[in-house]
Amino acid sequence: MDLADATLDELRDALAPAIAANAAFDGWNNAALDAAADSLGVDHDVARLAFSAGSVAMIDAWFASVDRAMAARFTPDALAAMKIRARITALVETRLEILAANREALRRAIAVLAMPQNAVRAAKLGWRSADIMWRLAGDTATDYNHYTKRALLGAIYAATIAVFLQDDGQDHAETRAFLARRIEGIMKFEKAKAGFLARTANRPSLSRFIGRLRYPVV
């Protein structure tokens, strides 16, 4: 892409991975942004305009680029051929594989997002990644399952990142084992929840009763 005529959104997409490559040394700041701009031949002032919201905006754009790279590794048919557990495992592991090249930048990004003033934005970014992974895995739930699945995966992904940042072993075996145990926990929870709902489906429901009083069947 010719960045000379790029929109600000296109500039953010192009610059984000390069910023991450420099953030390991410079931090998530204008020094990393300027170095990224130099590497792509982008004017510093234009690059700073694209990221006028600062370091969290840079991290946001980087995470979005990781999401896209993760999605690009899989075709719908390839994911459809896997069981749901394998899909989620493959997606998380692929995301970690992409992040591995910039692990120190990730460590610094987590530190920035851990600041109290960034708590809401950090939660949104975690939710977005969990949502993308579930959607790629084929989840189409629109009821409360939509929220519980993403909350669970978001918590597991955050915990796995914490292990990943400390795991210097070959092929990150400790991280993979940790992830496998946590996903096993999700599957057991979902199975137990499905069984509970099946057993209670025909029991009297106060909420349904009140709903019928308010909206009687005619």
Q: Note the pLDDT of residue 218.
A: 47
What does pLDDT average to in each consecutive run of 10 residues of the chain (218 residues)?
85 96 96 96 96 97 97 95 94 96 96 96 96 94 87 94 93 93 80 62 57 51
pLDDT at res. 41: 94
- pLDDT value at residue 144: 83
- For position 213, what pLDDT does the model report? 54
Right CATH number for 7-200 from 3.30.470.10, 1.10.357.10, 3.40.605.10, 1.10.600.10? 1.10.357.10
Cβ count within 10 A of residue 63: 22
- Cα-to-chain-centroid distance, residue 153: 9
Helix (H) or strand (E) holding 213: helix 206-214
- According to the model, what pLDDT value does residue 112 have? 97
pTM across the whole model: 0.84
Residue 66 pLDDT: 97
Query: What was the pLDDT predicted at 140?
Result: 87
- Please, what is the angle between helix 173-200 and helix 84-99, to 10°? 150
